[in-house]
Amino acid sequence: MIFPKVALIGMGLIASSVAHATRWKKLAGSVAGFDRDAEVRETAREIGLVDTVCDSLAEVVRDADLVMLCVPVGAMGAVAAEIAPHLKSGAIVTDTGSVKQAVVEAVGPHIPEGVHFIPGHPLAGTEQSGPRSGFATLFVNRWWLLTPSEETEPQALALLRAYLEGFGASVDTMDAPHHDITLAVTSHCPHLIAYTMVGVADHVRRVSHQEIIKYSASGFRDFTRIAASDPTMWRDVFLTNKEATLDILGRFAEELFVLQRAIRTGDGEMLHEYFTRTRAIRRGIIDAGQDTDAPDFGRQPKPSETM
């Protein structure tokens, strides 16, 4: 046991997976959860997701040793302001947001003296959401990034790291701006491109009847999986990581122009060289253990994974 009490704010995919993993590995004495949606709280009670489902933010964080904010980035500032008076001295507050600099700016000012704020981001997920969607092994062999400040106490960081590694996650640290530009490349812009491609297909489908859906090949199926992600979360990601996203989208547009020119001029040699180089990146992802040659894009958990 690393923490006597863990408090989860928000009970969607990430929080429910944290709850399952914490119980599976016996990493906390108790787990409490809260969600502003009364229906979500009722579902969490029904399935026994956590030890205690609370009906207020003050109640869920009371005496908690670790508080994890599992809410959209745009809501974190307001949540932090509300829980601040009720946080226990010595507690650790972390989050699971996909953007870090905006979270630091929104949450940091509300954290009282004596409480440790260590922003975080699990690089794991599926297109599913809600308290029933989580499973204990979601974080196994996945990265969980932390962005501590220079003032972060080493002991608090070590405790949080040990807790996350207890899930089977690989933990790394970096500063918030570096995190945001890195994730703009590896996650944010790919999602935006997927949303765009599915939007284009929807427009074409209107003049091609149901053929786009009926004959969807694996590439389009993968796009639709990504584009099925939580729209509230991704709206907040793009609005709060605006500069990094626009930077990478500009570079993407330049690369797209190069490919358009090669296709227009029939430059097969250039296309082959380009695809060979980018294929090597995919092989590197597989070699690093971040995916397989035949990934399960549904990411459906086995019964044993909801421990």
Domains and CATH numbers, the chain: 3-174 (3.40.50.720), 178-287 (1.10.3660.10)
The answer to whether the CB of 77 falls within 8 A of the CB of 107 is yes
**Residue 287: alpha-carbon gap to chain centroid:** 22
pLDDT of residue 304: 40
Asked if residues 147 and 175 have their Cβ atoms less than 8 Å apart, the reply is: yes
**How far apart (Å, rounded) are the C-alpha atoms in residues 80 and 21?**
25
Give whole-number Cα distances, 188 to 46, 90, 115, 123, 281, in Å.
34, 34, 30, 12, 18
Q: Is 11 helix (H, G, I), strand (E, B) or coil?
A: coil
- The structure tokens listed for 106 are 């929104």
Q: Hey, is 87 helix, strand or coil?
A: coil
**Residue 303: count of CB within 10 angstroms of its CB:** 7
Q: In this predicted model, what pLDDT tens digit does every residue of 147-188 receive, in sequence order?
A: 999 999 999 999 999 999 999 999 999 999 999 988 888 787
Give me the tens of pLDDT residue by residue for the chain, a chain 307 residues long: 999 999 999 999 999 999 999 999 999 999 999 999 999 999 999 999 999 999 999 999 999 999 999 999 999 999 999 999 999 999 999 999 989 999 999 999 999 999 999 999 999 877 778 899 999 999 999 999 999 999 999 999 999 999 999 999 999 999 999 999 888 887 878 878 887 877 777 777 665 656 766 766 667 777 777 777 778 777 888 888 888 888 888 888 898 889 999 999 999 999 898 888 887 877 776 677 666 555 554 444 443 444 4
Quote the pTM value. Answer: 0.77
Please state, in angstroms and rounded to a whole number, the distance separating the CA atoms of residues 54 and 241. 32
Give me the pLDDT at residue 306, please: 40
State which amino acid sits at residue 113.
E
Strands of the sheet containing 120-122, edge to edge, are: 120-122, 143-146, 170-173
